[in-house]
Every structure is written in C-alpha cells, then in structure tokens.
Amino acid sequence: MVRSIGADHVIDYTQEEFTRSGQTYDLIFQSAGTASPSDCRRALTSEGVLVLSSGESSGRWIGPVDRIIKAVVLSPFVRQRLAAFLAKRSKGDLQVLKELIEAGKVTPVIDRTYQLSEVPEAVRYLEEGHARGKVVITV
C-alpha cells in the first residue's frame, strides 16, 4: 500500500525490527512506533534526525509525551538532532492540503468508512492497531 503512494523503501514492522537491521537512516519520523528513542538513535547516521510524534509509553500521567520530552531534553547533548512533531491545524494548511489532493499530488489512503452511528465500532477497529490508512466517519 505505501509503495503505491510513492514510498521507495518499506519496512514491515511486524516482520523486521528496523533498529537492529544494521541499516542507518538520515531521518526517522516515528509517528506511533514502539521502538524507544535510544533504539531509534542507534539506527540514525551520526548526524541524523529523529522526529517523534507519539508512541507507546508507560507514562502514567502524560502518556507518550514523556518520550518526546526526554528526546528534546537529550538533543543538545548528542550529535544527532532529536525533535518533536506537533501538528498545528489551520484553515490555510487545510486549504493547501485540499488543493494537493484535488491536483492528484497527495493521495489519501482510506482504510474504512463508518457512519456516525457506528463510531463505537470505528474506535474499536482503531484500537486493534491494524488500520492501513485513515478511518473516516461519515456525517
């Protein structure tokens, strides 16, 4: 699926542990991964960049944010750059995204569509962790 939308190299996290493959990367964007920031750093080039958005965590009060905070605090002390990705929604950004989609430059991947009355089923499906694209709620 990701090759069909332009990916050159694909890692199936259920089959391969990318942090132990011996391959190094200039950039790792971990949007919801289970690898620790220190494991990811070992898979980076010496001046690579690790961008964390979320991920599994045992953080009782702040959840996965503790991973991001630790990485950002550590960043000044290592050669690699560790950064947090925080999405800011804006009308302008959504307009640009709409134009990219309409021009065929961005292809959204929709896994499943649910009616508004089916939101509990949609949430259960997402919690299973196997969605292969976006789950859409039709209003």
Each residue of 103-119: pLDDT tens digit?
988 888 899 999 999 99
Residues 101, 49: one domain?
A: no
Residues 59, 99: one domain?
A: no
30-33: Cβ within 8 A, 24+ apart: 30/54, 30/55, 31/85
Global pTM value: 0.61
Instruction: Please give the residue range of the domain that contains residue 58.
Output: 3-84
Residues 73, 116: one domain?
A: no
pLDDT band at 67 (very low <50, low <70, confident <90, very high): low
Count of structural domains, the chain? 2
Residues 24, 43: one domain?
A: yes
Residues 24, 65: one domain?
A: yes
Q: Could you tell me which residues come within 8 angstroms of residue 24 by beta carbon, excluding any fewer than 6 positions away?
A: 43, 44, 45, 48
With residue 84 as reference, give the H or E element that holds it.
strand 81-84
29 vs 32: CA distance, rounded Å: 9
Q: What are phi and psi of 98, to 5 degrees?
A: -60, -45
Query: Which residue bears the tokens 């694209």?
Result: 133
Residues 38, 68: one domain?
A: yes
